[in-house]
Amino acid sequence: MHVFERTIRLEHTDGAGVVFFARYFQLAHEAYEDLLDAIGQSLPADLAAAPILYPIVHAESDYRAMLRMGDRLRVEVTVEELKSRSFRLGYRFMNPAGEDAARLETVHVAVDKATGKSTRLPDELRSALEGA
């Protein structure tokens, strides 16, 4: 499990005074990138030139409690499933009171840029995710 923390900012909120539902996915991706950094598998700065990409083929979120500007958000990222060509991550969002604010998941498939087809996860990434 990887823990990512950050403060909710004005740009995450909307006119209802709470975090806009689509921003949870943005925040989850930030937590995912933070996880990749932590396991030595950072996304390359030049994604357009990367031979293998891991696009998200499914994403979902269950919203349980509001998040407000200034809240210190804690995200626990877990590798829920690791298959030969894909992986699924779970995200538990907790508000400052330690309550569940949301549960998200994202499913990523390894795609070979040259062929446009799915491919096996590189061993190095697989090992790194297994240890996460």
* 50-52-57 Cα angle (round to 5): 120
By CB under 8 A, tell whether 127 contacts a second copy.
no
By CB under 8 A, tell whether 48 contacts a second copy.
yes
By CB under 8 A, tell whether 13 contacts a second copy.
yes
Nearest to 78 by CA among 65, 68, 89: 89
Annotation says 14 is catalytic: yes
Q: 1: buried, middle or exposed (CB in 10 Å: 19+, 13-18, 0-12)?
A: exposed
By CB under 8 A, tell whether 65 contacts a second copy.
no
* 73-25-75 Cα angle (round to 5): 30
Instruction: Tell me the per-residue interface mask from 72 to 111 with a second copy, x by CB under 8 A, - otherwise.
Output: ----------------------------------x-----
By CB under 8 A, tell whether 68 contacts a second copy.
yes
Ramachandran quadrant class, 40 (left: phi over 0; alpha: psi -120 to 50; beta: rest) = left
Catalytic residue IDs:
14
What is the contact surface with a second copy in residues (CB under 8 A)?
7, 9-11, 13-18, 20-23, 25-26, 29-30, 33-34, 37, 42-48, 53, 55-64, 66, 68-71, 106
